[in-house]
Amino acid sequence: MKYKVKEGYICHNIGAGFVIVTVGDASDEFNGMIRLNAIGAEIWRMLKADWCTEEMIVRSLTARCEGAEENKVRGDISAFLEKIRFALDVEE
């Protein structure tokens, strides 16, 4: 599957963290904020830039994070994508 952030979801840097907020019509679907750490924000940037597969994200983060266990990274990314699925367009 490929994922990409839907229109109307914006990431803002707030102090040491990041938040996702909605604008426009997206506010009808979700009215709140999503708090992200730096890794979550990096994944968000990847998803905002272009269509990404889970595997592309796993490879990118595993390469960047020295000593990261691929299976742990894969599980964390899978859980993250599921948690924010409402904000994503999904292509089979």
Mean pLDDT across 60-79: 91
Residue written as tokens 């102090």?
15
**Model pTM above 0.85:** yes
Q: Which two tokens stand for residue 24?
A: 């426009």
CATH number at residue 6: 3.90.930
- At 18-50, the pLDDT tens digits run 999 999 988 888 888 899 999 999 999 999 999
Q: Which two tokens stand for residue 4?
A: 């990409």
Domain that holds residue 33: 2-91
DSSP code at position 32: S
Alpha helix (H) residue ranges in the chain: 26-29, 38-49, 54-64, 70-83
pLDDT at 36 (0 to 100): 94
